[in-house]
Amino acid sequence: MESFTCSKFPSCYSLAIIITLLYFCTTTTCLPTRLLVQQSPVKSNSSSTEFIKTSCRVTLYPDLCYNTLSSYASTIQTNPTELANAALSVSLNEAKSTSALVLKLSKGLELRPREASAVKDCVENTRDSVDELQQSLQAMKDLKGPEFEFKINDLQTWVSAALTNEDTCMDNFEGNGVNGKVKDTIRGRIVRASQLISNALALINQLNQ
């Protein structure tokens, strides 16, 4: 029987080279590379949550700040811009929820004229607040570039206006004989929304430090 040799099959040499490379790759040559990939540093969730906790100390409501943002740790990592963005998103969601509640109360309750006027004004205030926070979130997407100072100033203005509108809503209920239950229901939501917006503004201010 005629013996098999690679000289009769040119492609055999290529196959032999591939087999040899695979052998060394699985034993020695490629081992350091695999270990390097496996051991590459990855920011742990604990470092991200610690970053959030530390950053929240600059806010007026640090516990609320940490409790509402820690669940976004995997997205935030240790990025101040992502932290501010998450704070704005949380604030917007709360503002939307508050606005919807106030609108529902304005339509679902038999209110006296003074109460109706206060709730109507509050509907407009909370709606404006939502609009301003939406503008702020949009602006967060385009902060980089030579006009950073101008953009961050606009962002601070919108968030400050949103905070003012929430506060103005509550001012409408002071001293005008509004039903205590209506006032307390709205106050609870407005206070929380205002605190979240205040925290977001504080974190945004840190971007300009």
Distance CA 195, CA 171 (A): 16
Asked if 122 and 169 count as a contact pair (C-beta separation under 8 A), the reply is yes
C-alpha distances (whole Å) from 183 to each of 93, 106, 206 are 21, 12, 34
What is the sign, positive or negative, of the torsion defined by CA atoms of 82, 87, 93, 95? Answer: negative
Question: How many CA atoms lie less than 13 Å away from 111 in the CB half-sphere?
Answer: 25
For the chain, give every domain's residue range: 81-206
The pLDDT, as a whole number, for residue 39 is 38
Q: What's the CA gap between 112 and 127, in Å, rounded?
A: 22
Strand, coil or helix: what is 67? helix
Write down how long the chain is. 209
Q: Give the pLDDT of residue 44.
A: 58
Provide the pLDDT for residue 142: 84
- Contact between 137 and 162 under an 8 Å Cβ cutoff? The reply is no
Position 176 scores a pLDDT of: 57
Q: What is the pLDDT of residue 6?
A: 52
- Position 34 scores a pLDDT of 34
CATH class of the 81-206 domain in this structure: mainly alpha
Stretch (H or E) spanning 128: helix 113-140
Contact 146, 134 (CB under 8 A): no
| pLDDT of the chain, 209 residues: tens digit per residue | 444 455 544 544 454 444 454 444 444 444 333 333 333 344 557 899 999 999 999 999 999 999 999 999 999 999 999 999 999 999 999 999 999 999 988 887 677 777 788 888 999 999 999 999 999 999 998 887 788 889 899 999 999 999 999 999 988 777 656 667 778 888 899 999 999 999 999 999 999 87
Q: What share of the chain is helix, strand, coil (3-state, %, to 5)?
A: 80, 0, 20
Task: Locate 148 and state its tokens.
Answer: 């950073």
Residue with tokens 């840190």: 206
What's this model's pTM, rounded to 2 decimal places?
0.76
Cα 172–Cα 126–Cα 159 angle in degrees, nearest 5: 110
